[in-house]
Amino acid sequence: MQYFKQHVSELILSSLKELSVPEIPETDDIRKMLEYPPSPENGDLAFPCFRFSKILRKSPAQIASDISQKLPESAYVEKTVAVGGYLNFYLSGSAFLDFTLKDILSNGESYGRSDEGTGKTVVLDYSSPNVAKPFHIGHLGTTVIGHSIKKMHEFFGYKCVGVNHLGDWGTQFGKLIVAYRKFGDEKTVIEKGIDELVRLYVLFHSEAEKDRSLEDLARKEFAKLENGDAENLKLWKWFIEISLAEYKKTYAQLGIEFDSYCGESFYYDKIPAVIERMREKNILKTDDGASIVDLSDYDMPPCLILKSDGTTLYPARDIAAAIYRKETYDFSKCIYVTDAGQSLHFRQWFKVITLMGYDFEKQLVHIPYGKVSIGGEKLATRTGNVILLKDLFKTAVDKVRDIMNEKNPDLPNKEQAAEAVGVGAIVFHYLSGGRIKNIDFTVEDALSFEGNTGPYAQYTYARTCSILEKAGKTAAEAVNAGKYVCSASEEFELIKQLSLFPDKVRSALDAYEPSMITRFIFDTATVFNRFYHNCSVLGAGDRDVINTRLMLTKATGIVLKSAFSLICMKAPEKI
């Protein structure tokens, strides 16, 4: 629709000039003013005329009708109708379809992309689980929202650096070291991997309830680690390796790769310089032995930098990381995706960046998302109220495999397809609602394949592939057919839907809202299925109509596949 919005804006501009309207807006502004009418009876684009009323001293309705009178002829506009202060444009079906279809087919997977981000780097800090704690449903949000936002930026030409800011430093390592030495052994950890680490971590807490001295011991072991104790460092590295190997399996299922796994520990040796600079700027205060930055002038509690025993705190590591990233990547934006519970933390240390005399606070963006609960209860590792991502994915894939075994037992690459659909179902479900909404997660909801779901969308994509495969040579020839024609309203609705894709990605990126993409996918699948049910493709008779319908099918596949890739959903051709 971008092209048509542009074209219609130019027509309007020319008409406004003819009418000698003072203070004529630029084409770009006119384009932004264009709206999509809520129902097709009101046309395909609507231009609101209210804002000219004052300057022209005429009613908006009169202005709409005047603009319409002076509008230049266009092959793409069938008619215009002035209603209630709007000038409604009805696009000419065939011209619009022919243009847009060729646009999609010739651009293929580049359709909708732009180069607005060329030369700019965006750092995205997401997923970032805490090592040795379970990788659970609470991390699904940051992982898939973060990745989706990264994909959207790449789509618009930004160079993106995905950083997994692993929680690989902190007192939990003291706890784990104590628990491992007291209750664990090497063989079991090697055999069971992260599950054993989680068991030890949980066990530490239940034991510490009975024996308070364990907490002290854990603090001491962590302090030893911070001071470079060789034994503890060795264990710490080993715990990270084991956890990372496990996380990477989950990332592979989602098709996610990170450019950097520099976790919190990476910034440990960069903190003294941060402290130094804070001292120079005179913003570091001592409070009860701890080092803090007072933020009362900004109506926020103090930002905690060092504990009284001198160990570093979470905000300190974030500050060091932001400075390092600015120096290393010279980002135009550094985005952090975490649950809304951390919003204050980010607001606090973003402000500290400015107080330290840096000028890039405005380039730091926190993208919060709603909390996840299970059965109305807060997630809690210690009580076991968590769903591990690997278990969730496994349940989903098992369910899909069962359905496939029953309905499509001879499917080639069944395992891969089951994996793509099972994982896709969960991702799509998670990204269906606005990101800031709290979610009460149930496996049943995530794995219900009715209605607006990932499997429905993937099934629609596979359908486009099978139609084209069946058409064989006819489809290949249709690619170069001279002209595509519009002979049914379903075709027009479908091409209109596909034409919205670039605009939808734009809005989704501006709002950092992947749910706009899932919504678009669902709408596209629905419009395509309506077209497919009402318009026979190969049996259409007329060669131009057959060609058009085949290519509409191909274009739908192209757009769906691109849209899937923006939300970490795979597009198997057969399911």
Which residues make up the interface to ligand ARG (CB under 6 A)? 125, 128-130, 165, 167, 318, 336, 338
Burial of residue 259 (number of CB atoms within 10 Å: 0-12, 13-18, 19+) = middle
Residue 353: alpha-carbon gap to chain centroid: 27
Encoding tokens for residue 113? 């992309």
Q: In this structure, are residues 483 and 523 in contact, taking their beta carbons and an 8 Å threshold?
A: no
State the first-to-last Cα distance of the chain, in angstroms, to the nearest integer: 31
Give the shortest CB-140-to-ligand ARG separation in angstroms: 12
Give the shortest CB-7-to-ligand ARG separation in angstroms: 44
Give the shortest CB-334-to-ligand ARG separation in angstroms: 9
Give the shortest CB-129-to-ligand ARG separation in angstroms: 6
Which positions ≥6 away from 255 have C-beta within 8 Å?
A: 568, 570
CB nearer ligand ARG, residue 141 or residue 167: 167
Q: In this structure, are residues 175 and 381 in contact, taking their beta carbons and an 8 Å threshold?
A: no
Give the shortest CB-349-to-ligand ARG separation in angstroms: 9
Give the shortest CB-209-to-ligand ARG separation in angstroms: 23
Please tell me the distance from the alpha carbon of residue 128 to that of residue 131, in angstroms, as a whole number.
9
Give the shortest CB-318-to-ligand ARG separation in angstroms: 5
Q: Which amino acid is at 249?
A: K
**Rounded CA Rg of the chain:** 28
Give the shortest CB-300-to-ligand ARG separation in angstroms: 17
CB nearer ligand ARG, residue 128 or residue 547: 128
Location of structure tokens 């359905």: 403
Give the shortest CB-243-to-ligand ARG separation in angstroms: 12
CB nearer ligand ARG, residue 247 or residue 336: 336
Please tell me the distance from the alpha carbon of residue 496 to that of residue 332, in angstroms, as a whole number.
34
Encoding tokens for residue 298? 């900004």
CB nearer ligand ARG, residue 77 or residue 132: 132
CB nearer ligand ARG, residue 117 or residue 146: 146
- Residue 2's SS3 state is helix
Sheet holding 439-441, edge to edge: 377-378, 372-374, 439-441
CB nearer ligand ARG, residue 147 or residue 570: 147
Please tell me the distance from the alpha carbon of residue 493 to that of residue 525, in angstroms, as a whole number.
12
Location of structure tokens 């902190």: 170
282: region left, alpha or beta (phi > 0 left; psi from -120 to 50 alpha): left
Give the shortest CB-225-to-ligand ARG separation in angstroms: 17
Please tell me the distance from the alpha carbon of residue 504 to that of residue 519, in angstroms, as a whole number.
10
Going by C-alpha positions, the residue among 216, 21, 136 that lies closest to residue 430 is 136
377 phi, psi to nearest 5 deg: -105, 145
CB nearer ligand ARG, residue 85 or residue 315: 315
Going by C-alpha positions, the residue among 149, 140, 515, 565 that lies closest to residue 335 is 149
CB nearer ligand ARG, residue 340 or residue 488: 340
Query: Which residue has the CB atom at the shortest distance from ligand ARG?
Result: 167
CB nearer ligand ARG, residue 314 or residue 459: 314
CB nearer ligand ARG, residue 1 or residue 163: 163
